[in-house]
Chains A and B, each alone.
Chain A
Amino acid sequence: MNAALLRPEHRLIADWIGQGSRVLDLGCGDGAFLAELQRSKGVTGYGIEIDPDNIVACLARGVNVIQANLDEGLTGFDPESFDYVVMTQTVQAMRFPHQLIEDILRIGREGIVTFPNMGHWRCRLQFATGRMPVTRHLPNTWYETPNIHMCTIEDFEELCRAKSFAVVERATVDSQHRAKIGMQLWPNLLAEIAIYRLRAQAR
C-alpha cells in the first residue's frame, strides 16, 4: 500500500497526525489508512469496522480491527485513550451524529471528522431542479443511501457552536483534494469535502 492510493482526505489528515501517536479509526474500511499511518508515522491503534469483508481486509493488512456498530456508541473506551479519533465520511451515516462526536471527543484528545458537503453548488443545483442530490461522493438514490444525516458546512459549524466543540482546524477541498482559493472564500458553496479537527471545549 502506498500513500498515493489513499483517499484524498486521508493524505491531508495524515499530515496532521504526529509521529507515534495512538489513533482510533472509526469506520476504517479495508484498513489502508491505518496501515499507511503505521508504516509512515509509526502510529498504534485500532480500526472499528462493521463490514465482514472489510474486517478480513484489515486482518490481511495486519491492522488491529474491532468489529462494532458505531451506532451503539464507544462505551468500551476510556476517556482520552487516543491522541486522534478519526472518522472519515461516516458521520452522515450515523443515527446520532452529535452523540458520536461527543463520544469521539471524550475518548480522543482530538477528533478528526470529514463529511461530504451538502451545500456544494452541484447539490444545490440538483435541489433546484426538484431532485435529491446524487453526486460522485453521494452516489446512492435516496431510498438506498446509508447517508441518513446529510449536512452542509454551515450546519456542521452550527452543531459545533451548539455543542461547544472547539474547531482546531478546518480544511475544505474538492474531490481531487485541491484547496482552491474559492473554497476558502465560499466553502459552503464550493467545497465538496469538509475536514475538521475538533477538541472538546475546555470547561
Chain B
Amino acid sequence: MSASFPPDSVGLVTPQTVHFAAPLRLDSGHTLESYDLCFETYGTLNAARDNAVLICHALSGDHHAAGYHHEDDRKPGWWDNCIGPGKPLDTERFFVVCPNNLGGCGGSTGPLSVRPGSGKRYGPDFPIVTVRDWVESQARLADQLGIERWAAVMGGSLGGMQVLQWAIDFPARIRHAIVIAAAPRLSTQNIAFNEIARQAIRSDPSFHDGHYYEHDVLPEHGLKLARMVGHITYLSDDVLHSKFGRELREGKINFGFGVEFQIESYLRHQGESFVGRFDANTYLLMTRALDYFDPAQAYGGDLTQAVAGCTARFLVVSFSSDWRFSPARSREIVRALLDCDHDVSYVDIESALGHDSFLLPIPQYHQVLSTYFAGIEVAA
C-alpha cells in the first residue's frame, strides 16, 4: 500500500473477474449462455470462511466500493467512507466482496460487452435483468469464492433491495441483512421518475435505439438529463436550498435561458460528469430492475408471506429527509418482519441530505453500522 493513502483506506485495489460458463436463466425467460462478473475484495477471508460480507451496489454504482485503482486517483471507491481498516465495515475483521451487477458497465457482462459469437456488442439486446437474477449471479460468485454463508449482505437503495431478495431467496446463506434506504417495491412516483429518465435517453437522436456504439456517438444529452432528474430526487429540498439557494452565477438575472442560477450550473455539472462514466443502456436496465422489484408479488402481494422464510437478523436503516425511498417505505419492510417475529432492528437517521445520505459519513449512521458489525460474530 502506498504511503500516500490515508491509514484507514484499503489502499490500492485491483478488480478481479470470474468467468461463468454455466448458463444463467433469467426472470425474463432469456438465458445468458455465459458471463463475467467483475468484483473487488477487501480484507482477508478467515479460515472458517465466516467473515465474508457482500456489498450490493445501487443504480449508478459498481464494484469499486473502496480504495484506489491508481496511485494518482483523485477519488476512492463509492463507499470508501464506510469500508476500511477501523471503519464501520472494518476490513481488519471482515472480508468484503463487491461485484458489479450483470447489465452494468463497470466490467461485468452488460450492454457494452461483446456478445459471444457475434463480434458485436450486446447494446440494447442485452436482456433485462432483475434483482432476483442479480442475487442468483452473486450466489454463484459466492460459490466460486468458497463462501457458503455470508456474515452479512449490505446495500443501500437498489442495493438494499438486493439484500432483501438475498434474505428471501437464500435464507441459509445469509446471517445478517443490512437494508439501507430501500423499499419493498417502488412507488408509482418512483416509476414515474424512472420513466422520465428513460424517455430522456431514448428520445435523444444519438441513441439510435440503443445502437449508438455502432454510430460512434453517445446519447449524451439524454443521459445527462436523466441524471439531472435523478439527482434532484436524491437530495432534499432543504439541502438544495442551503447549498445553492437562489444564488445567481453572475449576481444578476440576464433575461435569458443560459445558466443563471447556481443550481442550474450544479445540475449540468452532475449530468456531464455522469456521461463520461456511465453507459446509457445500463442506465435503462438498472431503472427497469428497480421498477420490477416486488418480492411480495410471488406471494399474492403479501410482503409478510414473502419474508416469512427469512432467517437472517435484519438491520433496516432509513433517513428522515429521504423522499425517494422514504422512512415509511423502510417501515413497511420492518412491519412485515415484525409480523413474522423475525429479529429486526430499525433506525431512522436524522439527516437533511435526502436519499444520498446512505453514501455519506453521517456520525449517527456510521455509529449504528459500527455497533451492528461489532456484534456480528466471526471466528478469530
Contact residues of A with B, CB < 8 Å? 22, 44, 46, 52, 55-56, 58-60, 62, 64-68, 76-78, 81
Contact (Cβ within 8 A) B346 A67: yes
Task: Pick the 9 closest A-B CB pairs, nearest first.
Answer: A59-B371, A66-B346, A76-B335, A65-B345, A60-B371, A67-B347, A67-B348, A56-B371, A64-B345
Contact (Cβ within 8 A) B347 A55: yes
The reply to whether the CB of B300 lies closer than 8 angstroms to some CB of chain A is no
Q: Once the chains are docked, how many angstroms separate the CA of A81 from the CA of B340? A: 10
Contacts of A44 in B (CB 8 A): 341
The reply to whether the CB of B172 lies closer than 8 angstroms to some CB of chain A is no
The reply to whether the CB of B374 lies closer than 8 angstroms to some CB of chain A is yes
A64-B343 in contact given A76-B331, A76-B334 (Cβ < 8 Å):
yes
The reply to whether the CB of B302 lies closer than 8 angstroms to some CB of chain A is no
Contacts of B344 in A (CB 8 A): 46, 64, 66
Contact (Cβ within 8 A) B368 A56: yes
Contacts of A56 in B (CB 8 A): 364, 367-368, 371
Shortest beta-carbon distance, A163 to chain B, in Å?
26
Q: Once the chains are docked, how many angstroms separate the CA of A102 from the CA of B367? A: 35
The reply to whether the CB of B375 lies closer than 8 angstroms to some CB of chain A is yes
The reply to whether the CB of B339 lies closer than 8 angstroms to some CB of chain A is yes
Residue on B nearest A47 in the bound complex, by CB: B345
A59-B334 in contact given A52-B350, A52-B364, A78-B339 (Cβ < 8 Å):
no
Shortest beta-carbon distance, A12 to chain B, in Å?
27
Q: Once the chains are docked, how many angstroms separate the CA of A22 from the CA of B344? A: 14
Among B339, B345, B374, the residue within 8 A (CB) of A58 is B345
Q: Once the chains are docked, how many angstroms separate the CA of A59 from the CA of B350? A: 17
Contact (Cβ within 8 A) A22 B341: yes
Q: Once the chains are docked, how many angstroms separate the CA of A77 from the CA of B339? A: 7
Q: Once the chains are docked, how many angstroms separate the CA of A59 from the CA of B339? A: 21
B337-371 Cβ-contact flags toward A at 8 Å (1 or 0): 01101011111101000000000000010011001
The reply to whether the CB of B372 lies closer than 8 angstroms to some CB of chain A is yes
Shortest beta-carbon distance, A31 to chain B, in Å?
10
Contact (Cβ within 8 A) A60 B347: no
Contacts of B315 in A (CB 8 A): 59
- A67-B348, A81-B339 provided; 16 other pairs, C-beta below 8 A? A22-B341, A46-B338, A46-B344, A52-B347, A55-B347, A56-B368, A56-B371, A58-B345, A59-B371, A59-B375, A60-B371, A64-B344, A64-B345, A65-B347, A66-B344, A68-B346
Interface residues of B in 184-236 (CB under 8 A from A): none
Contacts of B374 in A (CB 8 A): 60
Interface residues of B in 303-354 (CB under 8 A from A): 315, 331, 334-335, 338-339, 341, 343-348, 350
